[in-house]
Amino acid sequence: MRNAIAASLAVFSFVWGEAAFAQMSERDLAIVGRALSFIEGSQSGERVVALIYDDAGQAEADALNAAMSGGYSARDITMVPRMVPLSDVSGGLAGADAAILLGGLSAGDAGISSTAASNGVLTVSSDMVCVQSGQCVMSLQSNPSVRIVVNESAASSASVSFTSAFSMMIERI
Amino acid sequence: MFRKTLKTTAGVLFASAMCSGAQAQTLNYDVMSELFGEPVTNSATGKPQRASEVPASMVIITQDDIQRLPERDLPGILRHYAGVDMVRWTAGAQDVGIRGYNQPLSPRLLVLVDGRQVYLDHFGYTAWRTLPVQLDEIQQIELIRGPQSALYGFNAVSGVVNIITKNPLQQPTGFDVSVNTDFNGTDEVGAVFSFNRNDRVALRLSAGVGQEKETDYTEQYETTDDFFSTISYDAAEDIQLAGSVYFQFDAKTTGLMEFTHSHVNQLDMQPNFYTADARYRLSSARVRLERDTDWGLISASLYQNSGKLTSVGSSFAVADPEFIVPSENTVTVFQLQNLFTVGTKNTFRLSGEYRNNTLASSPDPRNGDTQYDVFSVSAMWDRAITPNLRSTAAVRLDNLELERTGEVDDIYWFTAEDFDRTITEVSYNVGLVWNAGERGLFRANASRGVQTPSLSEFGLTQLTGDPDNPSILDAGNPLLEPTIVQNYELGWDRALGSLADMRLGVFYQSSEDLKTFLSYHATLLPPEAPFASTRFENVGESSAWGMELELQGDAPFDLQWGLNYTYQSVNDDLVGITIERDYGEGLQTQRNRYTGFEESTPNHKVNARLHWERDDLRLGVFANYVDEVTYPDRYVIVNGTAPDSDISAYLALSFRADYQVNEDVNLSIVGRNVNFGSDGVRTNRATREESSFWVGLRANF
């Protein structure tokens, strides 16, 4: 019940770190991994997750890359990190399954959104602004409770769809 | 793809047809729970939901919770939760009530295993030992307090217990075995084998066998009124077998085939507080198919429960054996459902159900089958008004057509034509859930539940004495009206800082046309009936209000604690079926009914628990307090001497200690009601429960 109550207290607050933008926590990462298993047609196995960062997000990307070193397992899915600096988005997203936007990019970036969509990549951010603007497919927060928001238009553009049960349990805009 | 946005005004059916598809997936409880950080369910509305979004008062008991409790059976597990009344009448017979109104063979609670009803339709109760499920194969137990007829149909009036088993498609191949024994006549073994072939086909086989020593009631019951003259079993004995095959035909289609069988001998407690030697031979078969289509998530389910039930009470001792046959009941249910979303905010469920329920003439075999067909349609609309405010509305229409085949012997008061009857009832659930952030989560709902009479209540024929000149006839009543339960409640969940999490619920409930069991004395005499008869009757109405307060939190030294308090107050307004009889001391007025909940529902209940866990050791201590109650006597003589039966308040203390020997083996020592001693404590109308100690071994391979 404790978890249930914590989850029930979803609010709009963001996870603010010392930086002036939302940061991806390891708990967020675990949620991303499990969410990947609910993409339509998903099979168990490895997923390449691009960590897209700008200068402000370099440290965060390094930390996540270290946390995912050797593969980050979330049940049936193992996330393999790929560091992608902003300058290399066009090439860095090829073959990726998901992309996490970090640093100043967490609020969204039109260029990344377009490139990810054309590559069929699920874009994820811990900043709700990103999904609300349609520049991410998914934004999430894990504290104080789990909140997952998916932008249908962005998902459609990226040809990403989720299973029924998952779709009915998240916020869709 | 997410479905295209459609205007809700286009109409539900049209919208359903036009929606782009969502992928079919049986709810993956483990992954979903980890993902959202809370239990998930689809038992409240038919829609997958996080526990915090459910518009009903619901408790989810996880497998881990089960393994922490000092219990071996489901009623024992349930008694630790707020709003639950559990009575252990005999070693085998227990009854569970939600928000009061508990009684022997309690008819108000609907119990399901993975959505298949396991409560017994011929008399509308649950014989818990017959449930073909082992504790180790349970994913979670979902307890819903309050009527849920709009989703589940008849008889889900006080609440629903839906037992969800682990899906072997989502589990690795494995074998679990558990053994419990008290080294004194109570032993049980359960085994579950799961086989998963490439996540495409999975098999689960489970079996349980057990016996529980019966208490020697005749010596311990302290009045001259010997309720247990019919005792012949010295232990409750049970065997449960279940086999299921799960299919993942493709990414969008799943299937299930399931067969079960239960074999139980036990001492039952009847609503008139007579015991009966009961023998249950129950079987079921089910197929289920679920597919994600462009029209939505469509599921179809067909199952049949069949049972042969023998219940030999003391009155049978004077009956001609020729006129005693077991009750043979067959229930066939077909359900079709479509669950779909419209736009981003709305989820709809449309469903239809056909049910055929047949009871062969029993115990007197000469009077044709009693049966009914039920056609039902239901709809549910869940809307996310804002991200923090959600509404749910569900409505269901049931149309029951009752009939009796064959001829009825003219010694009974009714004829077969009296059964040509149609009952049409509407049930509903409406609810609002508002997430107010740090102020907590607020819940409001109203519901109407329908409890239809059981087939036995409609059509029982039981002959006592000479068939040509019977001393008394126990008979069904085809004129009975369904009991209607109306429920209103408010709920508030919030965290009390770092001290505890709190859940608070307040409810008001009314019940119209309650039914009573067969009375001790005749209620129909010639010329109203050919022979002196007693029958099931509607006996008036009752109302109740109450609250459930649940707290839990962490404490220093790796301690976890939980405390729940239930208050419930029942106000009966019942019709007394009175008759005057001369017992040699002049006329006495008798109230010939056993129903009466005002005094038999405990006003106060408290459950507390404290857990400690470190490394391979786990220890829990438990307390259950139940307030005093008074049960209606078997035959109440208003101006006579037979008193009601007073039961004092009691406190039960229990413990459980677990040692994880290695990754695969767990040892436990459990003491249930340890302060009751060998003399026992009288916990209900019939029983002195004794202390029970046992050791358990669980192994997973």
CA–chain centroid gap for B111, Å, is: 4
Q: Quote the pLDDT of residue B5.
A: 34
Sequence length of chain A is 173
Provide the 8-state DSSP code for B41.
E
Interface mutation vs chain A, best among B4, B16, B23, most A CBs within 10 Å: B23
Q: Is A5–B441 a contact, with Cβ atoms under 8 angstroms apart?
A: yes
Judge whether B144 and B171 are in contact, CB under 8 Å: no
Q: Provide CATH code, domain A17-172.
A: 3.40.50
The whole-number average pLDDT for the span B375-389 is 95
Q: What is the pLDDT of residues B289-301, one digit of tens each?
A: 999 888 889 999 9
Task: Among B182-191, B232-241, B571-580, name the most confident range.
Answer: B182-191
Are A38 and B25 within 8 A, CB to CB?
Answer: yes
Residues of chain B with pLDDT > 70: what percent? 88
When comparing pLDDT for B676 and B227, which is higher? B676
Other Cβ atoms less than 10 A from the Cβ of B226: the count is 12
The answer to whether B55 and B443 are in contact (CB under 8 A) is yes
The amino acid occupying position A170 is I
Question: Which of A38-47, B49-58, B570-579 has the lowest average pLDDT?
Answer: B570-579
Q: In this structure, what token pair is assigned to residue B255?
A: 């299937």
Nearest CA distance, A48 vs chain B (angstrom):
20
The predicted structure's pLDDT at residue A6: 38
Tell me the mean pLDDT in the region B477-487: 96
pLDDT of residue A23: 75
CB contact under 8 A, A3 and B49: no
Decide: residue B241, CB within 10 A, 0-12 exposed, 13-18 middle, 19+ buried. middle
How many CB atoms are located within 10 Å of the residue A62 CB? 14
Q: Do B37 and A37 touch (CB under 8 A)?
A: no
Give B319's strand partners: B465
With beta carbons under 8 A apart, name residues in chain A contacting B60.
Answer: 4
Check CB contact under 8 Å for A155 and B48.
no
> Where does the pLDDT of residue B22 fall: very low under 50, low under 70, confident under 90, or very high at 90 and above?
very low
| Among B24, B435, B552, beta carbon nearest to A1 | B552
- In the numeric block, the tokens 């015991």 are attached to B275
Torsion angle, CA of B674/B678/B681/B685, rounded to 10 degrees?
A: 130
Q: Can you spell out the DSSP letters for B165-228?
A: EP-GGGS-SEEEEEEEE-SSS-EEEEEEEEEEETTTEEEEEEEEEEEEEPP-HHHH--SS--TT
Flag if B52 and A171 touch (Cβ within 8 Å).
Answer: no
User: What is the band of B645 on the pLDDT scale with cuts at 50, 70, 90?
Assistant: confident
Mean pLDDT over B278-298 rounds to 92
Please report residues of B whose CB lies closer than 8 A to that of A10: 387-388, 435, 437
**Residue B163 scores a pLDDT above 80:** yes
- Chain A nearest-CA distance from B389, in A, is 11
Q: Which residues contact B3 (CB under 8 A, 6 or more apart)?
A: B19, B20, B21, B22, B340, B341, B342, B343
Q: If you average pLDDT over every residue of chain B, what do you get?
A: 87
Which H/E stretch holds residue B76? helix B74-78
**Chain A partners of B607 at a C-beta cutoff of 8 Å?**
none
Tokens of B92: 């085998």
- The CA distances from residue B361 to B452, B459, B602, B635, in Å, are 19, 8, 37, 27
CA–CA min distance A55, chain B (Å): 30
pLDDT > 90 fraction of chain B, expressed in percent and rounded: 66
Q: DSSP strand E in B226-295: where?
A: 235-250, 253-269, 275-293
DSSP assignment of chain A equals -HHHHHHHT--S---B-SSSSB---HHHHHHHHHHHTTBTT--SEEEEEEEEE-GGGHHHHHHHHHHTTT-EEETTEEEEEEEEEGGGHHHHTTT-SEEEE-GGGGG--HHHHHHHHHTTPEEEES-HHHHHTTS-SEEEE-SSS-EEEE-HHHHHHTT--BBHHHHHTSEE-
Which range is least confidently modeled, B71-75, B139-143, B369-373, B596-600?
B596-600
pLDDT for the residue B518? 83
pLDDT of B13 reads 35
Q: Domain coordinates of chain A in residue numbers?
A: 17-172
Mutate to test the interface with B, among A5, A152, A160 (most CBs of B within 10 A): A5
Q: Indicate the SS3 state at residue B586.
A: coil
Task: State the CB neighbour count (10 A cutoff) for residue B636.
Answer: 21
- Strand, coil or helix: B676: helix
Distance CA B538, CA B532 (A): 19
Q: How far apart are CA A53 and CA A31, in angstroms?
A: 20
- Taking alpha carbons only, the member of A79, A74, A27 closest to residue A50 is A79
Whether the pLDDT of residue B361 is over 80: the answer is yes
Q: From residue A51, how far is each of A19, A58, A82, A115, B679 by CA, in Å?
A: 17, 10, 6, 14, 69
Cα–Cα distance for residue pair B309/B422, rounded to 1 Å: 27
**Mean pLDDT over residues B461-469, rounded?**
81
All residues of chain B having their beta carbon less than 8 Å from the beta carbon of residue A165 are 25-28, 32, 42, 48
Q: Please give the Cα distance from B496 to A55 (Å, whole number).
A: 41
Mean pLDDT of chain A: 83
Mean pLDDT for B592-598 is 73
Contacts of B51 (CB under 8 A, 6+ apart): A4, A7, B38, B39, B40, B41, B58, B60
Whole-number Å distance between alpha carbons of B599 and B318: 33
| Cα-based distances in Å from A41 to A19, B23, B251 | 37, 9, 6
Instruction: Judge contact between A95 and A103, C-beta under 8 A.
Output: no
pLDDT at B214: 82
- pLDDT of B227 > 60? The answer is no
Chain B hits for A4, CB-CB cut-off 8 Å, are 38-39, 50-52, 60, 493
Cβ <8 Å between B35 and A34: yes
Closest-approach residue (CA) in chain A for B443: A8
| pLDDT tens digits, one per residue of B509-550 | 999 999 988 877 778 888 889 988 988 989 899 999 999 999
Q: What is the mean pLDDT of residues A35-48?
A: 85
Reported as a single tens digit per residue, the pLDDT across A103-143 is: 888 888 888 899 999 999 999 999 999 999 999 999 998 88
In whole angstroms, what is the distance from residue A98 CA to residue A108 CA? 15
- Quick check: helix, strand or coil at residue B630? strand
Query: Shortest CB distance from A165 goes to which of B2, B27, B503?
Result: B27
CA B108 to chain centre: 7
CB-nearest partner of B441 from A8, A30, A44? A8
In the numeric block, the tokens 């699920």 are attached to A122
Q: What is the pLDDT of residue B221?
A: 42
CA distance A52 to A82: 8
Give the amino acid at A29. Answer: L
B4: Cβ–Cβ under 8 A, 6 or more apart, which residues? B18, B19, B20
CATH number for the region B22-700 comes to 2.40.170.20
Cross-chain residue pair B2–A167, CB shorter than 8 Å: yes
Rounded distance, CA B455 to CA B357, Å?
8
Q: Is B31's CB within 8 Å of A75's CB? A: yes
B632 upstream amide cis, omega within 30 of 0 = no
Nearest residue on chain B to A143, judged by CA atoms?
B37
Residues paired with B210 in a beta bridge? B188, B238
Chain A positions touching B504 (Cβ under 8 A) are none
Q: What is the pLDDT of residues B649-660, one digit of tens each?
A: 999 999 999 999
Residue in A4, A31, A172 closest to B344 by CB: A172
